Every structure is written in structure tokens, then in C-alpha cells.
Amino acid sequence: MTFVPPGGPSELPEEPAEDPWAGLREDLAADVRRVSDRLRSLSATRLASAPAPPPEGGPPYVTRAQAGRAAAAELARVAAALEAAAVCPTGPVEQDLPTLSDLAVGDQVAVTGHDLLAALDLVGPGVRVRTGTYEHLPAERAVRAAARVLADVRRRL
């Protein structure tokens, strides 16, 4: 059985719709790749050592692995908020990421980052989302805030 959409070929859009997340998606994907690659390349000793000091008002991290875990948790929180906004109006179910070994934190950033990138396809930038950190904000603000956390971690590794 073949599915044929209603309407004729003249009713189909001539060009694919423009991605409203295009610029942010590219920047976020690049930072996810940079941070996860950097964390994967660090030895256990380096992962257990202190990162660069925080900028004024930035969160202090005891270890580089802790900084990576914080970025992964933020990426996961925002991804869950976008997914929930697409299917569940009551908001996301709060779940903590498991604490993996320091050597796995790069993979954790990669997985949660890719989850967020995939969640961008579910909602538009103006859709209001609920997260523990960014209560009922436009999706774009929540994603940009998560991208800032990731960029801060990248600079401090």
C-alpha cells in the first residue's frame, strides 16, 4: 500500500521550509563536538583536576569532569523540556543524569547534546517550554542558555 498525500504536486511547497533554528543549531552542534572531543581526549588525571577559574558570577567546578557533567545535565534538561512541549503540556518529568565515570563524561555530553539537537526539530523557537531552570520561557531562550553553559565549560577546559 502506498501513501499518497492529498492534493496534487502543484500544492506541494517548491522549496523546503527554512530551519528557524539554523544558526543556533550549527553553533550548538559545533560546541557539543568541541567539548565532547576535548573531554574524551583528557586523561583521568586531567579530568579529575580543576578547570580554569570561573568568570565573575560563573559556577565553580571542582573538576573538569564535574564541569562536563553540569553541561550534560543542562543539555538534557532543555532537551526534555522541548520534547515535553511537543507532546506533554504539563512539562517534563524531572530526571537526573546518572553519574558515570570521569572517562565517560565526554560521551555523556555528546549524547545529551545530540538529544537536544534532535529536540529542536520538535518545536519552534517561540514555543514556551517548562524546565527546572528556565520556567515557562520561549524555547529559544532555554536553548541559548544551555548553549551558554556549554560554551562556558568549553572555555574552562
pLDDT for 92 equals: 65
**Residues 25-60: tens digit of each pLDDT:** 999 999 999 999 999 999 999 999 999 998 887 889
- Rounded to an integer, the average pLDDT of 86-106 is 85
CA-closest candidate to residue 20, choices 116, 148, 124, 115: 124
**pTM, two decimal places:** 0.86
What's the DSSP call for residue 139? Answer: H
Q: For the domain with range 21-156, which CATH number is right: 3.30.420.40, 1.10.10.410, 1.20.120.450, 1.10.3720.10?
A: 1.20.120.450
CA dihedral 121, 127, 111, 103 (to 10 degrees): 160
| Residue 3 predicted with pLDDT over 50 | no
Residue spans of the domains in the chain: they are: 21-156
- Among 37-41, 67-71, 86-90, the range scoring the smallest mean pLDDT is 86-90
pLDDT > 90 in the chain, percent: 69
**Residues 119-135: tens digit of each pLDDT:** 999 999 999 998 775 57
The CA distance from 80 to 94, in Å, is 8
Q: Write out the H or E segment, with its range, that includes residue 4.
A: none
